């Protein structure tokens, strides 16, 4: 190393900026959970970034969670654990029903709720009504795990506002499922969580013994106040007797 | 909003998790400049991630700097300002030389040094010798701004170790340019910054009046101690009289 | 504004670097939950940073969680929600016991487990045995909410290894509580989660009808594999019949 | 390790969440340089956080830069390199002046400009006029390196708006120095960078041969457009002949 001359008396080049930390430099997705709290996960790649008519959408390939769908900057669903949400949304209702044949999904454009529903052999027809054509197309091409569901002949995919679609249709359903974004004031799904919607749109479209189930946001010790408790209280007023009424909700 | 019931006395759903902060959630590249210091820039997309035989390589589409080339986790070059480095490397030497016709680039696989060289009408031949075929191929396809340079008939692109190539060749050059990574002990470029390399490989390959110029790392008030001062002192011993010797360096 | 001259034709100074984003700049605590996942919370201040004989310790005043205790770079406990952990650790065992009078806490230096225990009027004596004098002193001075517990005459605070202390003592306890760090191989608490420890140290120190309860790490759908399932399976082998054995665990 | 039972066939507790990464978890200061670019440096502690009548102020003890003063969420000055800014601001002007005796500092509450000025033996009087009493008090107590300067009998510390103070005073100065925040529209210093201020307030307060020098923001290849070029052009109009006029600026 005497072959390189350093005025500072050190013979040779410093390696302090060398490769030692190379593995720590990386691409990250960062989400603000709330103002003073955020979480970050490492990225393999950004598969898609775009804006549809209704929302901003990203599909990320993340290191800790696999493929992840981000809508309006908020993680919606990730490959590694989306089954927890979708199985919990679908199976209790379908197992509780004596003979679920016809199902209506409000939202669900990702395809995972349909996938879980179509595992039930009793199911003859699933109407999946999502407002956003582009999200649906996008999930169809990227989410391999739902590809079969999207091709299932029992699936009737409709692009429309779920409320308008339910009001337009005359047929009844054994199970209606709300697989929607949280009810944010001014957001696209707000109207799908109201008392009048439950009373005058959902209820009349349920068969005798029909079941209504909806996602209702996080239900943690603190987070339940965000939307869960409101949705629970709203439901309670419409579906008075949970288990004795011919129409119940889970 | 009386249409939604909240047990907490608030009528309607909280909007605290709404879209207010949506624009702040994003994908970031994060680089550790040193152990306790890092910088982050927002990403549009990750154009490429991969490993060649010699190095890890990423091409990122960044919001503040445009396309950015990251080698071994360290930002090498960005669309928005690479011209500053490449113009400074090339033009002083070429303008200082009376009639620069033949040039040898050590490294330079990105293509930008060649691009600047080929702007000089006197230049008849540019040998660009980079060790990493994949990086060169990769830059050829992605870096639109250098596409014309890569196609220029005056460019002779060689994939080899620059030292071996210079030793193998018998022809002399008017200008030899080192467009290399910093000399990190154990790194691929270390041998291209030594006194013996300058003395026994570079010097003999320069024409009368020939100029040698090399990148030498950051030269800031503090950062010059990393590699700049070492390189400067090494050069000073080989090219004794900067401006009176027939061979000089800038 | 004609009073300021800009060569770029804009009259006056740019405000792009102004105060618009000032509120976004801040101090953050960042923790790697796992290699590719981290979370960050905003800081009001760093109340204390130091190293004891056994561990690194920080007390942070955080914006989202209030005061937070960080041991060896891992968030242990935060003002806003520590009650969830400590109430769950203490109250089921104490309510399940017919007449809990004497309690032994392994660890618990923070003071919160003692605080919850001392709310039970039947409790006559709480031995709290933590290995780290400095952590205890530190929590005594900073954690206002536990101040009363630390002063309670029923509390017998001992600085020692919990295993050694239990083996040294001859008295029996109605409830023994493990309020410890996770069992990491080579870590200080590993020996306090083994079958032989449960069999030969814990069991002999429980009164007839005595209850042993231990923290057992996170029990999530994925995270239970870290330590929870191991601890559960170890306990099951020692305390064979959960509810019929005279000694049970919760 | 057979002493611990794992249902997953692994004997003993996972160490994946162990101490391996402990050293990477830390407290960081994060600043948005611009919307898509930020930098972060590791913190030892937050020495002070507060708001004065005029600005938010933080004193941080940082790992890479030592003590750092942050005003309105923007790093102003750091222990390790503030000398570069302050020496450059002070010494060229003072060395260029034949016999600088009386100096007026606009701003400079940190004390470092005064410190450098008072190193010149010719200097008999330094008026330092900062608007923010609290910042001055705060720097007096925390910035050990400026303690001597604050005690120097030649220093006359005035708390006032620099413009008002200069207009109020009748005495003339050999050197007037602007050690101010950047001119942000609506910000507290905007008026101290205008043509009329230079013409009607500064110029009349300079002695024959007097020098005016001001900080002018960053002067980088890109960043000079923020404020530097504007300030330069404004100065040029007021101090017409840089070196031949009896009053010049540097």
Per-residue pLDDT of D24-80, as tens digits, reads 458 999 998 888 999 999 999 998 888 888 888 899 999 999 999 998 888 989 999
Mean pLDDT of chain C: 87
Q: Which residue has the higher pLDDT, A25 or B55?
A: B55
Question: D36 touching B, CB under 8 A?
Answer: yes
Question: Least CB-CB distance to C36: which of A37, A42, A84?
Answer: A42
Indicate the pLDDT class of residue C138, thresholds 50, 70 and 90. Answer: confident
Interface of B with A in 130-189 (CB under 8 A): 182-187
The pLDDT value recorded for residue A209 is: 93
Residue A16 confidence (pLDDT) above 60: no
* In chain B, where the domains are located: 2-78, 82-249
Residue C250 confidence (pLDDT) above 60: no
Q: b/e for A6-31, b at 16 or more Cβ within 10 A? A: beeeeebbbbebbeebbeebbbbbbb
Residue C160 confidence (pLDDT) above 80: yes
Give the best residue of C35, C39, C50, C230 to mutate against chain D (max D CB count within 10 A).
Answer: C230
The pLDDT value recorded for residue B118 is: 98
Give yes or no for a contact between C34 and D16, defined as CB atoms under 8 angstroms apart.
yes
Residue B2 confidence (pLDDT) above 70: no
Q: Which residues pair with A155 in a beta bridge?
A: A126
The pLDDT value recorded for residue A25 is: 53
Question: B200 touching D, CB under 8 A?
Answer: no
Q: Which residue has the tokens 């210091």?
A: B37
The pLDDT value recorded for residue A207 is: 97
Indicate the pLDDT class of residue A249, thresholds 50, 70 and 90. Answer: very low
Question: A56 touching B, CB under 8 A?
Answer: yes
Q: Which residue has the tokens 């600026």?
A: D249
Give yes or no for a contact between C87 and C157, defined as CB atoms under 8 angstroms apart.
no
Question: D14 touching C, CB under 8 A?
Answer: yes
Residue C1 confidence (pLDDT) above 70: no
Contacts of residue C232, Cβ cutoff 8 Å, sequence gap at least 6: C216, D7
Mean pLDDT of B176-182: 93
Indicate the pLDDT class of residue A10, thresholds 50, 70 and 90. Answer: very low
**Topology of the domain comprising A82-249:** Rossmann fold (3.40.50)
The pLDDT value recorded for residue B11 is: 47
Q: Which residue has the tokens 């109201």?
A: A194
Catalytic member of A152, A156, A179, A245: A179
Instruction: Identify the CA nearest to A191 among candidates B4, D232, C16.
Output: B4
C-alpha C29/C-alpha C31 separation (Å) is 7
Mean pLDDT of C116-131: 98
Q: Could A18 and B230 be called an inter-chain contact, meaning their C-beta atoms sit closer than 8 Å?
A: no
Q: Which residues pair with A69 in a beta bridge?
A: A59, A77
Q: Could A40 and C37 be called an inter-chain contact, meaning their C-beta atoms sit closer than 8 Å?
A: yes
The pLDDT value recorded for residue C3 is: 76
Residue B64 confidence (pLDDT) above 70: yes
Q: Which residue has the tokens 């006197």?
A: B122
Mean pLDDT of B59-73: 92
In the predicted model, residues of chain D with pLDDT beneath 70 are: 1-2, 4, 6-25, 240-250
Q: Which of A72-81, B106-115, C103-112 has the lowest mean pLDDT?
A: A72-81
The pLDDT value recorded for residue C71 is: 86
Q: Show which subunits contact A, needing at least 3 CB pairs below 8 angstroms.
A: B, C
Q: Which of A85-89, A126-130, C23-27, D52-56 has the lowest mean pLDDT?
A: C23-27
Mean pLDDT of B35-41: 92
Gap from B23 CA to chain A (nearest CA, Å): 7
Question: B229 touching A, CB under 8 A?
Answer: yes
Instruction: Identify the CA nearest to D162 among candidates D147, D177, D151.
Output: D177
Indicate the pLDDT class of residue A34, thresholds 50, 70 and 90. Answer: confident
pLDDT in tens, C58-85: 999 999 999 999 988 889 899 999 999 9
Mean pLDDT of chain B: 87
**Residues in chain C within 8 Å Cβ distance of A84:** 221
The pLDDT value recorded for residue D40 is: 94
Model ipTM? Answer: 0.77
Residue B173 main-chain phi, psi, to 5 deg: -125, 155
Question: Least CB-CB distance to A230: which of B4, B25, B27?
Answer: B4
Determine the length of chain D.
Answer: 250
CA C121 to chain centre: 24
C-alpha C229/C-alpha C141 separation (Å) is 36
Q: Which residue of C has its CA nearest to A38?
A: C40
Q: Could D40 and B40 be called an inter-chain contact, meaning their C-beta atoms sit closer than 8 Å?
A: yes
Contacts of residue A56, Cβ cutoff 8 Å, sequence gap at least 6: A50, A71, A72, A73, B22
Question: Least CB-CB distance to C184: which of D8, D13, D21?
Answer: D13
Mean pLDDT of chain A: 87
**Residues in chain A within 8 Å Cβ distance of C36:** 41-42, 62-64
Give yes or no for a contact between D171 and D127, defined as CB atoms under 8 angstroms apart.
no
HSE-up (13 A, CA, CB side) for residue A159: 8
Residue B6 confidence (pLDDT) above 80: no
The pLDDT value recorded for residue C132 is: 92
Residue A57 confidence (pLDDT) above 60: yes
Give yes or no for a contact between B203 and B238, defined as CB atoms under 8 angstroms apart.
yes
SS3 C18: coil
C-alpha A249/C-alpha A177 separation (Å) is 10
Question: B45 touching A, CB under 8 A?
Answer: yes
Mean pLDDT of B91-107: 97
Instruction: Identify the CA nearest to B109 among candidates B142, B63, B153.
Output: B142
pLDDT in tens, C45-64: 998 888 888 888 899 999 99
The pLDDT value recorded for residue A244 is: 35
Is D2-78 in CATH node 2.30.140.10?
yes
| Token representation of residue A250 | 């889970």
C-alpha C196/C-alpha C129 separation (Å) is 20
pLDDT in tens, A207-248: 999 999 999 999 988 899 989 999 999 999 998 655 333 344
Question: B36 touching A, CB under 8 A?
Answer: no
| Token representation of residue C188 | 């200080």
C-alpha D107/C-alpha A150 separation (Å) is 68
Q: Which of A52-56, B138-142, C151-155, D128-132 has the lowest mean pLDDT?
A: A52-56
Give yes or no for a contact between A89 and A213, defined as CB atoms under 8 angstroms apart.
yes
Q: Cβ-count burial of B9 within 10 angstroms (0-12 exposed, 13-18 middle, 19+ buried)? A: exposed
C-alpha B209/C-alpha B229 separation (Å) is 25
The pLDDT value recorded for residue D172 is: 98
pLDDT in tens, A180-211: 988 877 777 888 899 999 999 999 999 999 99
The pLDDT value recorded for residue C35 is: 87
**Residues of C classed as catalytic:** 179
Contacts of residue C214, Cβ cutoff 8 Å, sequence gap at least 6: C177, C178, C180, C193, C231, C235, C249
Q: Which of A3-7, C130-134, C185-189 has the lowest mean pLDDT?
A: A3-7
Indicate the pLDDT class of residue C25, thresholds 50, 70 and 90. Answer: low
The pLDDT value recorded for residue A2 is: 55
Residue B151 confidence (pLDDT) above 70: yes
Q: What share of chain C has pLDDT > 90, as a percent?
A: 66
Question: Least CB-CB distance to C34: which of A35, A37, A64?
Answer: A64
The pLDDT value recorded for residue B140 is: 92
Residue C26 confidence (pLDDT) above 60: yes
The pLDDT value recorded for residue C8 is: 47
Q: Could C194 and D7 be called an inter-chain contact, meaning their C-beta atoms sit closer than 8 Å?
A: no
SS3 C199: helix
């Amino acid at each position: 190393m005497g072959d390189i001359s350093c005025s500072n008396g050190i013979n040779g080049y410093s390696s302090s900026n060398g490769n030692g930390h190379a593995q720590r430099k990386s691409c990250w997705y960062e989400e603000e959970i709330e103002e003073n709290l955020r979480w970050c996960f490492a990225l393999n790649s950004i598969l898609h970034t775009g804006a549809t008519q209704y929302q901003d959408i990203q599909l990320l390939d993340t290191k800790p969670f696999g493929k992840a769908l981000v809508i309006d900057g908020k993680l919606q669903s990730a490959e590694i654990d989306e089954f927890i949400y979708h199985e919990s949304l679908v199976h209790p209702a379908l197992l509780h029903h004596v003979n679920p044949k016809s199902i209506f999904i409000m939202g669900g454009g990702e395809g995972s709720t349909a996938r879980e529903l179509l595992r039930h052999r009793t199911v003859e027809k699933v109407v999946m009504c999502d407002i956003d054509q582009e999200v649906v197309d996008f999930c169809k091409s990227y989410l391999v795990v739902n590809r079969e569901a999207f091709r299932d002949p029992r699936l009737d995919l409709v692009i429309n506002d779920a409320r308008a679609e339910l009001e337009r249709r005359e047929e009844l359903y054994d199970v209606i499922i709300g697989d929607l974004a949280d009810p944010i004031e001014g957001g696209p799904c707000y109207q799908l969580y109201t008392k009048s919607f439950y009373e005058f749109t959902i209820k009349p479209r349920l068969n005798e013994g029909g079941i209504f189930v909806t996602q209702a946001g996080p239900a943690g010790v603190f987070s339940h106040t965000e939307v869960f408790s409101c949705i629970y209280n709203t439901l309670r007023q419409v579906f008075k007797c949970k288990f004795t009424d011919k129409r119940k909700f889970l």
